[in-house]
Every structure is written in C-alpha cells, then in structure tokens.
Amino acid sequence: MGYAEVSVNSPVAQRRTFSYAIPSGLNISVGQAVWVPFGDKLLQGIVLELSDYPSVEETREIAGVIEPTPVLSPSHVLLARWISEHYLSPLFDAVALMLPPGFRRKVITFITSPETPPEYDTSSLTRDQRQVLELFNKQGKVSLRELEKALGKKRAQTIVSQMVGRGLAVRSYELEKVKVKPKKARYLHLKVESGEAQQEAARLRKPGRASRQANLLEFLSQSAKPVSVSEARREVGCSASVVEALVGKGLVELREIEVKREPISYEGITPSEPLTLTAAQKSVFETIKSSLLQGAEGKASPTIFLLHGVTGSGKTEVYLQALAEAVKLGKRGIVLVPEIALTPQTIERFASRFPHKVAVLHSKLSLGEQFDEWQRIRNGEFDVVVGPRSAIFAPQPDLGLIVIDEEHEWTYKQQDKSPRYHTRDVAVKLAELTGLVVILGSATPDVETFYHAQRGDYHLLQLSERVTPSEGSSLPRVEVVDLKEELKAGNRSLFSRSLSQTTAEALAKGEQVILFLNRRGTATFVQCRSCGLVLRCRRCEVTLTYHYDENVLVCHQCNYRMPVPQICPRCLSRRIKFLGIGTQKLEQEAGYAFPHARLLRWDSDVTQRGKHSHWEILNRFQSHGADILIGTQMIAKGLDLPLVTLVGVVSADTSLNLPDFRAGERTFQLLSQVAGRAGRGTLGGQVIFQTYSPENYAIQAAAKHDYALFYEREITYRRQLRNPPFTRLVCLVYSHTNDALCQREAERMRRLLIEERDSRGIADLGLIGPAPAFIHRLRGRFRWQLVLRGSEPSALVSQIPIPPGWTVDVDPVGL
Ligand code: ADP
Ligand code: ZN
Ligand code: ZN
C-alpha cells in the first residue's frame, strides 16, 4: 500500500503535511486534490509527495479524489513548499496561491451504490432504504442535500449512515460548480428586406417624422453583419426608445446572442509590429535570446537578468521581443506589472503585439470569470499572461519567461495576508526549479536587486539612454529648490518662486503641468521651518513620529521617546512645525495661484469610485481636457504624456521622512519616476523638486538622474547600519484592542526570543523593539512590532510557537 503526504486545508495544519494511506484502486499523483478525513471532518487536501512508508504509525485513508487530473504541477508543488518554509506561512496558504480561483468552495456530498453491491434480501430493507436504492437505479447518484429535502435532515442522515454501514451505499464528494454566467449581447436584426427598410427609412425622414428611427434603419440595411445594440448606439446614437419603436413596428427584432468573453477588449487596439531595435537594445536582446535558447534546449542554469534602463530607454520593447522569441521556441510568458489599473498603456502594448493571445488577470473579474480564465490559461490558450503579483502563479504551461516590470515596486510584496511572499524571490525560485528566464526591469532597481547584480548573482543589462525620436526628449533638467530660502525670502505658500513662475510660463504656452505630492506616505513628523532639521532617533537614524495623544515623538523602530522640543536643537529657532499637507489642500492653493488653469486631481480618493476612473482621468488629461494634473504617486507610473513640459514635486521630503531605513531608497525611486514624466514629447521638459533638504543624497542623485551615485551612498549606509542586504529581517507584529496588553505580549515574545537565541548560542542576531508599529492603530486594534535582524533570523522564529494574534513577515519591505 502506498502513502501520500497531504497539505490539508485546516488552520491547525500549519506548516506540516499529514500522511494518508492510498486505498487500493485509487489513482493518486503528486499535485492531486483529494478529500481526507481530518478529526471528524472531511477536508480538502493537496498531495505533495508519494512514499512507500507513512511518516506516522497510524494513518487514515484518503477518502476520494476531487479532480481526476492534478491541479498543481510538480514544480508548483516544490514552490509551495519553499514559500511555506521561507515565509513561515501555513502550507495550505502557500498551496492555495496556485489553486484555481474559488477552489475553497462548498463541498457537495453524494450517495451512490458501490461498484459491487453486496447480496441482500429486499425484505430486510426499510421502505426508505428501498426508495433510496430506486433513486440510485434511476439517476446513478443522489446528493445528500436532495435526500434531506425529501426526507427531512435527521431521517436522511440516519438512512444514509445505515446504508453505508451495510455496504449498500458509498459517499462521494464534489466541489460545488463555479457559476459562470455566459455573457450575452443583444443584436438587432432586420425583419424586412433591406430595400423595404430603406423605403421605410425615406418615409420616416419626412419633416416632422422620426428621423432617428430612419438613421437606424438605414444603418441596419447597409450593414453586412448583425449589429449589436451597443454598436448601433455608438454609430448612430440611437436610444432604447428608438429601438423599441422599430421593434413595435415589426421592422426590427432583438435577439440575445451568447458571446465568447475576451479577457480584454481588443476594441480600438491595432496589431503592432516589432520595432527595429537600437544598437543598445539589440545587444541586450541578443543576450536574453541566447539564454532563452539554452533554456529551450534544457541545458540552462537559471538566468535572472536585471534590465536597468532609464524611463523611455526601450525596456518594454525588449520585453515584447523577448516574449516573441520565447513563443517562437514553443514557450510562454508571464508579465507582471505593479498595478493593473495604473498601467493601461503598457497592457495595450502587449495586447497589440500578441493579438488575442494575451490574458489579463485582475481583481475586477468576477469569481466565475477568474475561474474561466484560469482554465483557459491552463489549456494553453495564451502566449502571455499579464497581471499583478498573483499572476506569477498562473498555470501557464511551458513557461519560459517571466518579466517583472518596475521590479522595485513594493506592491510585489504581499503584505496584508499570508503568505507574505515577494514576487521577485518567487520568480527567482521558480527559475531555479524549472530553468526559466527572468527579466527584472527597472529604471531605479531595488538596492538589494542591484547588489545581487553587482555580485554576479543576477546578470546585469543596461540601457543608459532614452530611445530619442528627437533631440528634445533626452532626460529633463531638474532644479532643486531650497524651501528654507523661500521662507527667508518671506514666501510661505506651497509654491516656490521658481515653481510659480515656470508653471505660469508653461501654461501661457498651452503646455501641461503635473504637480506631485506624495501624501500617502506621510507620517506626521516634526520639522524646523528655519533650518529644515527633522528630528531623528539617535540609535536608528529613523525619523521620529509625532503621537498626538501623548504629545511625544516616538521612534517606530526602537520605541525611543522624547518630548516635542520648543526650540530647534540645531539652530535654536522657535519655528518647530508639524508637517502634513494633502492633495486637496494643494488643489485649493493651485486654484488661487493659477486661477485660469483647468485643474484635475488624481489620487485614490478620486479613483475609488469606479472601475474606469483611472482611464477617464488619464484620457481627459491626455486629450488636454485639463492644464494641471495634481496627484499622488499614481501619476508616477508609466504614462506617456507628450504635452507635459513641467513636473513640480511640491514636497520631496514626505517619503524621505518615513520612519523606515528604506526612506532614502523610496524617495530616490519616486523622484526619479516623477521626473521621468516630463519631456517625453518633442517639447522638452523641466522638473522642480522642492525640499528642505537639498543636500540629501537621494534628492541630489534623483536630480542628476544618477542611479550609481545613489546606489553607492545607499549601499554604504546599509553596510554601516547592518541593514539588508547585509542582514535579513523578520518583523513580528502583535495586534490587540488593548494597547498595554499588546506591549506586554510583545515584551514577553522578546524575552522568549532572547532566551531561545542564547540557549542556541546564536551570536549574530539582534532584536529591535518592541515599538509601536508604523500604523500604531488599525481598525480599532493596536499594533506593536518586534524586528529580528541577523544572517538567518527566520531559522530562530521557525522554532518558536507563535500564538494567535501575531503576524510574521519575513523579509519585510516596509517597517
Ligand atoms: P521603457 O519601457 O524603458 O520606458 P519603452 O519601451 O516604452 O521604454 O520605449 C520608449 C518609447 O520609445 C516608446 O514610445 C517606444 O515605442 C519607443 N521605442 C522603443 N524602442 C524603439 C525602437 N527600437 N525604435 C523606435 N522607437 C522605439
Ligand atoms: Zn532649526
Ligand atoms: Zn530608534
């Protein structure tokens, strides 16, 4: 008898598998979804391993198979195990990442007769039992629910267990079907000959008659194929009443036709041909191509490319041609983007290069649609799957290439739920398991990624110049404005003299302006308005955060506290201020400063309303429906806006003062991206950074478009302060409605960890905190955090029982 190691869908299963015996006659493979008895329940499980011996003495049997074909590929099985071990997450959470959408559905119990029913004497059966047997004969199997309806719940259950006990019936289980509503469209059909329709149209066109009906009739009579109602509405602008009138006259008929749902609308998307690569692109492409070739021949070592290229250097074109190459070799690709809604132009480019061969996964799809899409992907219907981080788990067969665009973006880390995986690390692991090729692309690579590339773990490819269609669109000039000087000159508005003047000039020329304010990252910090000093923790170098309730400044890394000073410790000024302005305030002030400009605000407050809002705002701005676009980091994404000649960063300091050791990196990334928005057309462009810290290295490097300058400084700091990539972090957060209890529990955990560390003699492991988490209070619960730092902190944490209420984040991106 064989045995299976099964990951079971139960919260108590945690990171382990359970041994089950495989009953004879049942065909079980690795990756198969099965039913297993667990306590007194029957649960879903995924077979991760087959073996000749069980890992425990007493085993129970697998109860049944959920789907005849395995749902997880062998490499996905290994990947799930790795995710669970690496991120210390429950095994089934990791497995679930790769299951079809809606897999954790309701179970339906069925009753059927066994394959070889025992001999029995009909007279020994009760009437109910005989009735059930008759049902078996009639319809093969009966759902328990059906029986319960007919006989009452209690009675049905008793009969079923009696019959199962006597071997007269067996139970089987199935997942409830996902309800996929086929999409239907309404089409207009002429009920008369087209000649007759035209005569009628002419009659209706007489003065005082229904000319809109005439338009529609004419349109229908001229059209060669059936016309959908939405098309008719678009083409001749007819309303429902016009259609109704024609239907009433018996001239037109409405028919509902089922349409095959396309994952994206290809309407308005024209197929595109590959561009002739520039010399720089070509050399990058050839390197990738030869790796793909080796991969296809099965002799590859895993290849991770870091494609470092400034915005507009032609990275996307390289992705497109690399994907085409993979397809030529019989492979398929996955392209990951930071956020689907914010990258419509990028998605269009993929769709137009691979017409009808692109699946786009996004959260706006209904469960049914997602399920449908998953199946189609698994059937190999798409060359390319585009999606957010979860798309990395798409069941793309023959996967040969993964592209992670804007690889430095934090959305690639799942932070809000288990498993707290990082897409980049998952991609690297997958490459190791299967030999596929990964391209990480960015203008401002994550410092850790670049460090790996420098060490030779990843293969560094660079595109250092924009693909310049004209001379005007080289990288824009950046001016750094010192806000302290503005204050000295008596200017207290949000706009420096330089920014107001340049904005006015651009507007006068009919050009467009973007004003950027990263409000989302703003913690309330305290700053001297005379010398610009921001108060920082002496131990951690992290910005201190102001807590209103206690009127103190707190270090969110180590819990160091100090009262708010009355005078500036550096320049002795009394002008200590709390900072925190938002986009709404900015919009108001821009209205006063530029009364004739048409303003448009784009931030999450505005876009949360509807699905197309991003599109609408973008389209309006692109078609010059507004002069000034005001927004948060959303506007920093990959938009091509040729009329924009000025980008003003109202405060470059908001992200700089985040209480996190990655604040400098974050600032550099944001500023570089924002600066990349200007001067993409032939008009050229200019950028202004307003800041109280003009000498800061991140701001300086972004102003000079100099990644190397930033990286050298940043990596030095990281080394000095023993931050990643020189150490690894694990962040433990405890949350509870009672703040004091929260702190006590965090302190208990700290003692426990120290004890464990010392008893194991682990030298190189530091504990930071406990301290209130960056978001101290979230939805009525307080949060305290503990950070472990060392060469392998998760090894220690994995040995410790973690009580409920704690979350564990391995390799966190934001502290
Ligand atoms: P990135 O992804 O690095 O921002 P893109 O691939 O979007 O760069 O290229 C920037 C612009 O240059 C796009 O408008 C693109 O169509 C164009 N482009 C890219 N490669 C070429 C090429 N080889 N020849 C002509 N135009 C190109
Ligand atoms: Zn000061
Ligand atoms: Zn500190």
Q: What are phi and psi of 334, to 5 degrees?
A: -125, 135
Which residue would you say has higher pLDDT here, 765 or 369? 765
What is the CA(59)–ligand 2 centre distance, in A?
71
Q: Nearest ligand to the C-alpha of residue 660?
A: 3
- Two structure tokens written together for 720: 């000095």
Q: Residue with the nearest Cα to atom 23 of ligand 1?
A: 277
Q: Nearest ligand to the C-alpha of residue 770?
A: 3
What is the CA(617)–ligand 1 centre distance, in A?
24
Of 423, 450, 430, 330, the closest CA to residue 383 belongs to 330
What's the CA gap between 810 and 793, in Å, rounded? 9
Q: Is 676 in the pocket of ligand 1 (CB under 6 A)?
A: no
User: Residue 452 is which amino acid?
Assistant: H
Q: Is 408 in the pocket of ligand 1 (CB under 6 A)?
A: no
DSSP, res 124: G
Closest ligand 1 atom, residue 310 Cα? 3
Q: Which of the listed ranges 152-166, 212-226, 426-440, 763-777 does the model predict with the highest average pLDDT?
A: 426-440
Average pLDDT over residues 23-36: 92
- Pick left, alpha or beta for residue 660 (phi over 0 → left; psi -120 to 50 → alpha; otherwise beta): beta
Closest ligand 1 atom, residue 640 Cα? 14
Please state the pTM of the whole predicted model: 0.78
Average pLDDT over residues 540-546: 74
Please write the tens of the pLDDT for every residue from 405-427. Answer: 999 998 999 988 999 999 999 99
Q: Is 365 in the pocket of ligand 1 (CB under 6 A)?
A: no
Please write the tens of the pLDDT for every residue from 664-673. Answer: 999 999 898 8
- Two structure tokens written together for 814: 């934001």
Mutate to test the pocket of ligand 1, among 276, 281, 313, 317 (most ligand atoms within 8 A of CB): 317
The confidence band for 299, taking pLDDT boundaries of 50, 70 and 90, is: low
What is the CA(275)–ligand 1 centre distance, in A?
9
Please write the tens of the pLDDT for every residue from 672-683. Answer: 888 877 665 666
What's the CA gap between 525 and 532, in Å, rounded? 12
Of 8, 29, 30, the closest CA to residue 19 belongs to 8
What's the CA gap between 596 and 619, in Å, rounded? 21
Q: Nearest ligand to the C-alpha of residue 314?
A: 1
**Surface-to-core class of residue 179, CB atoms within 10 Å of its CB (0-12 exposed, 13-18 middle, 19+ buried):** exposed
What is the CA(558)–ligand 3 centre distance, in A?
4
What's the CA gap between 556 and 658, in Å, rounded? 10
The confidence band for 521, taking pLDDT boundaries of 50, 70 and 90, is: very low
Long-range contacts of 257-260, Cβ-Cβ distance < 8 Å, separation of 24 or more: 257/184, 257/185, 257/186, 257/187, 257/226, 258/182, 258/183, 258/184, 259/183, 259/184, 259/185
Closest ligand 1 atom, residue 311 Cα? 4
The confidence band for 520, taking pLDDT boundaries of 50, 70 and 90, is: very low
Q: Is 345 in the pocket of ligand 1 (CB under 6 A)?
A: no
Q: Nearest ligand to the C-alpha of residue 535?
A: 2
What is the CA(540)–ligand 3 centre distance, in A?
4
Please write the tens of the pLDDT for every residue from 60-95. Answer: 999 888 888 899 999 999 999 999 999 999 999 999
The pLDDT score that the predictor gives to residue 539 is: 72
Q: Is 278 in the pocket of ligand 1 (CB under 6 A)?
A: yes
Q: Residue with the nearest Cα to atom 25 of ligand 1?
A: 275
- What is the DSSP pairing of strand 512-516 with strand 628-631? parallel
Residues whose Cβ atom is located within 5 A of ion ligand 2: 528, 530-531, 533, 568, 570-571, 573
Q: Is 277 in the pocket of ligand 1 (CB under 6 A)?
A: yes
Q: Is 754 in the pocket of ligand 1 (CB under 6 A)?
A: no
What is the CA(737)–ligand 1 centre distance, in A?
52
What is the CA(308)–ligand 1 centre distance, in A?
14
Average pLDDT over residues 768-791: 83
The pLDDT score that the predictor gives to residue 681 is: 60
Contact 705, 772 (CB under 8 A): no
Q: How far is CA 225 from CA 153, 189, 192, 529, in A?
A: 55, 9, 15, 69
Q: Is 466 in the pocket of ligand 1 (CB under 6 A)?
A: no
Q: Residue with the nearest Cα to atom 15 of ligand 1?
A: 314
Q: Nearest ligand to the C-alpha of residue 536?
A: 3
Least confident of 252-261, 484-493, 688-697, 701-710: 252-261
Q: Is 275 in the pocket of ligand 1 (CB under 6 A)?
A: yes
Q: Is 790 in the pocket of ligand 1 (CB under 6 A)?
A: no
